[in-house]
């Protein structure tokens, strides 16, 4: 047989398999629907994890090279300013910045806000435009209170509810007076993953809200121009001050990835049981051949088809069905994750406070994701479908025709 | 251990292969023990039907195995983000002592699988199944490979510890490094490259030479099969020490996995695909000589050998073309070597 004939034969087998699938609509559709559902769940998890990890790695590039915390009694405590000079003197360090940040719990809204101290006067006019939507009402209201802050969009919505969208009064029962802070802007929605629950306060105001004493900071951020030196400098700091803890950016990044990987792995492992159940179902459905199918195979064999060709047809049927389902399932997942923004699944992966960011996910799909979906969904299904296909293919023509007349 | 999507995916694939293979071997055992071609009773008839099942399952197992192999290479790169120090697949594989043996065993398994499938193909071309007992015995013999591979896979993934700092390909394939990686790159290109071409020419010469006696021919073809193994290993060395640096256009980046990624236009897939195709066809062409048990078999095998020879030659040419194009492009663009 030359190549052309062989190709022609393959094409005919493919053609015949497709016709078979269409002819048995009910059965095909049943498997199709379950398979699409399964593939779309698996791919949703993959897409979401992939995009989130990418997003996190990208945004963590803005993080300091090393974060230094003071540990006392196994817990993080505020760090004294005396460390600052000595750390700055270590060669290789470009800058060491003390930071003041923490959380502010608001009972009435049942929400936890992140407070971050920042010198707002450092923001240039163009910075304003790129990251903030201006609080227009506030434009002409300068100097109402001593302090200013910028807040995340979700915080802003919450404050609006309590009619404090212009000036917010920080208050704690054990304070003598409240602390009014003007809201000068709201972060743009693009930054939501980081800014949803953020209040960016002027450093002095933040220190007051967080009740830090004058010579204390929350931690120190260290910037190092040469990435090769980061680990060495971190080691140097730990040797000189055993009471300090250093966290490098790469440590944070690998923690992020492993948290997302772990969450998706966990969800997926749970799904393995579903996949197994699905396989058993398929085995059951395709194992029992209908009378009509039996007669069809009998006729095929009687007119001279050999076992291998019938086997090929049967195997192709399940391969076609699973491939179509995989494509449809991936499309469904794409729409669910990137257009509908993954309602239901999102909460598993992000956020820990009551405020969930409703950020936009950037599609990130690579060949390897598609291969992984194939490995989880199509490979086991095809393996399982071989045995029923074989069982159908070895049936003897005379037996079938004799029994069904 | 890291519970991770990629690892779960690989696990599903690996377990599927093991299950398929185990099922095959059970059937093979049944056939091997009870086979009697001359008998015409019901039992023999059923056994003959079973051979179709085994060959269908084995074809599936090989395809899945190759598929999973490429996915492993891509997934390891993804996992590398979790391990401090690891920057790509090489770093992950060297994270514990099971990583590289696992990959080596996978390569060996590809060769064994292919040999079995080619013998199966030849056997199915014959009316009276002359190789049945032999081929099912062979299947039972290669079964431990896949069991061992699965064990290594689980040992490897369960022992991945995100706390341990591993090295990256820059330090593993550093010439000063001692060990397999260091050895590969310590082989200077002025030795490795001519050696590669010499072996290719030698195996071509062996392929065309022929001797009258049957035993002599067997020795000759076995030698040919061995030259293909040497060619395969040398090619991997050249990929690491020469081809890769021109793909990355960087003298220090010598990674045999990174160029499988989309960033390098998946150039690794045709490169390794053609290399495997060439080495497997060449190797099996030589090995098949041992299965010329009678005249009718000898006829089919000779035809198959000719076809395999043709596939091997074209794949080698393709491999060299794909592998040396980045070098040529670099050389023509800059007029320099790295």
Residue by residue, DSSP assigns A4-36 as HHHHHHHHHHHHHHHHHHHHTHHHHHHHHHHHH
Q: Is the pLDDT of residue A354 over 50?
A: no
Are residue B96 and residue B215 in the same domain, yes or no? no
Give tens-digit pLDDT for A174-212. 888 888 888 888 888 777 667 778 888 888 888 888 888
- Selecting from A269, A366, A379 the residue whose C-beta is nearest the C-beta of B16 gives A379
| Mean pLDDT (chain A, rounded) | 80
Cα angle B142-B148-B153, degrees, rounded to a multiple of 5 = 135
Tens of pLDDT along B28-85? 999 888 888 888 888 888 888 888 899 899 989 989 999 999 898 888 887 877 776 6
Look up residue A352 and give its DSSP letter: S
Query: B81 and A311: CB-CB below 8 Å?
Result: no
Q: Are A69 and A245 in contact (CB under 8 A)?
A: yes
Q: What is the pTM of this model?
A: 0.77
Residues A368 and B75: beta-carbon distance below 8 Å? yes
**ipTM > 0.90, yes or no:** no
Q: Is the pLDDT of residue B236 over 60?
A: yes
> What pLDDT score does A356 carry?
45
| The pLDDT of residue B199 is above 50 | yes
CB atoms within 10 A of CB A101: 19
Residue A360 has pLDDT above 70, yes or no: no
In this predicted model, what pLDDT tens digit does every residue of B241-277 receive, in sequence order? 888 888 888 777 778 888 888 888 888 999 999 999 9
Alpha carbons A370 and B129: distance in angstroms, whole number: 40
Co-location of B203 and B326 in the same domain? yes
| Same domain as B46, residue B19 | yes
H helical segments located in A184-223: 192-195, 203-210
Residue written as token pair 């069991």: B147
Same domain? For B180 and B157 the reply is no
The predicted structure's pLDDT at residue A352: 47
Q: Which domain holds residue B16?
A: 1-167
Single residue among B138, B167, B196 that ends a domain in this structure? B167
Any A CB within 8 A of B164 CB: no
**Which A residues in the span 347-386 are in contact with B, Cβ-Cβ below 8 Å?**
366-368, 371-372, 374-376, 379-380, 382-383, 386
Same domain, B55 and B22: yes
Q: Comparing A37-46, A116-125, B92-101, B306-315, which segment has the lowest mean pLDDT? A: A116-125
**A32-82 tens-digit pLDDT:** 888 898 889 888 888 887 787 777 777 777 788 888 999 888 888 899 888
The gap from C-alpha A364 to its chain's centroid, in whole angstroms, comes to 11
Q: Show the beta-strand stretches assigned E in A197-327.
A: 198-202, 216-217, 219-223, 244-248
Specify whether the CB–CB gap between A9 and A264 falls below 8 A.
no
* pLDDT given for residue B164 in this prediction: 59
Q: In this predicted structure, what is the pLDDT of residue A377?
A: 81
- Candidates A38, A9, A15; CA nearest to A320 is A15
Alpha helices in A61-140 (DSSP H): 82-88, 125-131
Put simply, the answer to whether B53 touches A390 (Cβ < 8 Å) is yes
Query: Residue A80 phi/psi, 5° resolution?
Result: -80, 155
pLDDT surpassing 70 at residue B186: no
Closest chain A residue by Cα to residue B60: A383
What's the total number of domains in chain B? 2
CA–CA distance, A301 with B183 (Å, rounded to integer): 59
Best of A316, A368, A389 to substitute, by most chain B Cβ atoms within 10 angstroms, is A368
Distance from CA of B35 to the nearest CA of A (A): 18
Task: Give the gap in angstroms from C-alpha B82 to the nearest C-alpha of chain A.
Answer: 5
Chain A residues inside the 8 Å CB shell of B8: 265, 268-269, 272, 376
Query: Of the candidates B167, B186, B205, which is a domain's last residue?
Result: B167
Structure-token match 């190092």, residue found: A224
The pLDDT of residue A328 is above 90: yes
- Residues B4, B139: one domain? yes
> E strands within A203-284?
216-217, 219-223, 244-248
Mark whether B154 and B182 lie in a shared domain: no
State what percent of residues in chain A have pLDDT above 70. Answer: 88
DSSP 8-state assignment for residue A336: I
- Name the pairing type of β-strands A198-202 and A111-118: parallel
Q: Which of B167, B197, B231 is the last residue of a domain?
A: B167
Determine, for residues A265 and B52 on separate chains, whether the beta-carbon distance falls below 8 Å. Answer: no
Q: Give the range among B79-88, B239-248, B296-305, B312-321 with minimum mean pLDDT.
A: B79-88
B120 in the same domain as B200: no
Q: What is the dihedral of CA B311, B315, B316, B317, to 10 degrees?
A: 110
Longest dimension (CA), chain B: 74
Instruction: Please indicate whether, in this complex, the C-beta atoms of A311 and B56 are within 8 angstroms of each other.
Output: yes
Residues A111-157: tens digit of each pLDDT? 788 888 887 777 666 676 777 776 555 544 455 567 888 888 888 88
CA distance B173 to B187: 11
pLDDT, position B176? 54
**Interchain contact, A265 vs B56, CB within 8 Å:** no
List the structure tokens of A216: 């204390």
> Bridge-partner residues for B110, per DSSP?
none
- B-interface mutation test, from A45, A270, A379, A382, most B Cβ less than 10 A away: A379
More confident residue, A253 or B181: A253
């Amino acid at each position: 047989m030359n190549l052309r004939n062989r190709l022609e034969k393959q094409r005919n087998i493919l053609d015949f398999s497709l016709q078979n699938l269409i002819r048995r609509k009910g059965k095909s559709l049943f498997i199709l629907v379950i398979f699409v559902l399964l593939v779309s769940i698996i791919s949703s998890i993959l897409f979401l994890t992939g995009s989130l990890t990418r997003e996190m790695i990208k945004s963590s590039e803005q993080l300091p090279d090393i974060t230094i915390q003071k540990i006392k009694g196994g817990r993080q405590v505020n760090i004294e300013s005396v460390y600052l000079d000595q750390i700055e003197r270590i060669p290789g360090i470009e800058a060491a910045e003390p930071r003041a940040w923490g959380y502010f719990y608001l009972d009435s809204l049942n929400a936890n806000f992140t407070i971050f101290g920042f010198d707002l006067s450092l923001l240039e006019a163009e910075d304003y435009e790129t990251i903030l939507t201006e609080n227009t009402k506030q434009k002409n209201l300068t100097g109402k209170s001593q302090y200013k802050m910028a807040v995340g969009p979700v915080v802003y919505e919450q404050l609006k509810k309590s009619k404090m969208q212009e000036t917010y009064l920080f208050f704690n029962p054990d304070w003598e007076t409240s602390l009014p802070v003007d809201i000068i802007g709201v972060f743009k929605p693009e930054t939501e993953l980081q800014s949803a629950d953020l209040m960016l306060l002027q450093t002095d105001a933040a220190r007051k809200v967080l009740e830090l004493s004058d010579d204390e900071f929350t931690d120190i951020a260290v910037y190092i121009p040469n990435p090769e030196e980061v680990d060495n400098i971190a080691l140097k700091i730990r040797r000189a001050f055993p009471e300090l803890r250093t966290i490098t950016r790469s440590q944070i990044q690998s923690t992020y990835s492993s948290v997302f990987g772990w969450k998706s792995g966990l969800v997926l492992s749970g799904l393995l049981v579903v996949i197994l159940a699905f396989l058993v179902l398929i085995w059951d459905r395709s194992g029992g051949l209908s009378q009509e199918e039996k007669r069809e195979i009998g006729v095929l064999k009687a007119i001279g088809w050999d076992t291998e060709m019938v086997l090929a047809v049967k195997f192709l049927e399940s391969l076609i069905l699973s491939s179509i389902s995989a494509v449809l399932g991936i499309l469904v997942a794409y729409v669910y994750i990137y257009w509908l923004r993954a309602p239901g699944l999102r909460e598993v992966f992000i956020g820990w406070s009551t405020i969930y960011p409703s950020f936009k996910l950037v599609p990130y799909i690579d060949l390897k994701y598609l291969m992984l979906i194939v490995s989880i969904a199509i490979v086991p299904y095809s393996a399982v479908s071989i045995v029923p296909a074989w069982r159908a293919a070895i049936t003897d023509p005379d037996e079938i025709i004799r029994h069904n007349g | 251990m890291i519970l991770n999507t990629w690892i779960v995916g690989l696990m599903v694939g690996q377990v599927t292969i093991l299950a398929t293979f185990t099922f095959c071997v059970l059937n093979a055992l049944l056939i091997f023990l009870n086979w009697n071609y001359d008998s015409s009773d019901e039992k023999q008839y059923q056994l003959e039907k079973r051979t179709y099942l085994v060959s269908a399952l084995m074809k599936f197992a090989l395809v899945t195995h190759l598929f999973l192999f490429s996915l492993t290479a891509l997934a390891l790169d993804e996992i590398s983000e979790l391990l401090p120090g690891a920057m790509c697949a090489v770093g992950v594989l060297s994270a514990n002592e099971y990583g590289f043996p696992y990959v080596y065993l996978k390569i060996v398994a590809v060769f064994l699988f292919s040999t079995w499938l080619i013998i199966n193909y030849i056997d199915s071309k014959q009316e009276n199944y002359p190789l049945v007992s032999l081929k099912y015995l062979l299947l039972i013999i290669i079964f431990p490979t896949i069991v061992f591979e699965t064990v290594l896979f689980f040992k490897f993934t369960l022992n991945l510890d995100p706390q341990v700092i591993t090295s990256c390909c820059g330090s593993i394939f550093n010439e000063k490094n001692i060990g397999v990686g260091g050895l590969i790159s310590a082989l200077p290109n002025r030795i490795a490259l001519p050696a590669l071409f010499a072996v290719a020419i030698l195996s071509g010469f062996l392929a065309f030479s022929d001797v009258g006696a049957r035993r002599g021919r067997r020795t000759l073809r076995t030698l040919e099969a061995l030259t293909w193994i040497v060619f395969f290993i040398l090619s991997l060395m050249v990929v690491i020490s020469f081809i890769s640096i021109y793909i990355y256009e960087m003298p220090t980046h010598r990674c045999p996995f990174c160029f499988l990624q989309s960033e390098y236009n998946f150039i690794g897939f045709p490169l390794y695909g053609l290399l495997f195709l060439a080495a497997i066809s060449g190797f099996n062409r030589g090995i098949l000589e041992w299965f010329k048990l009678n005249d009718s078999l000898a006829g089919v095998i000779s035809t198959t050998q000719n076809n395999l020879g043709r596939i091997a030659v074209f794949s080698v040419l393709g491999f060299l073309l794909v592998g040396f194009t980045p070098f040529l492009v670099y050389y023509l663009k800059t007029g320099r070597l790295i």
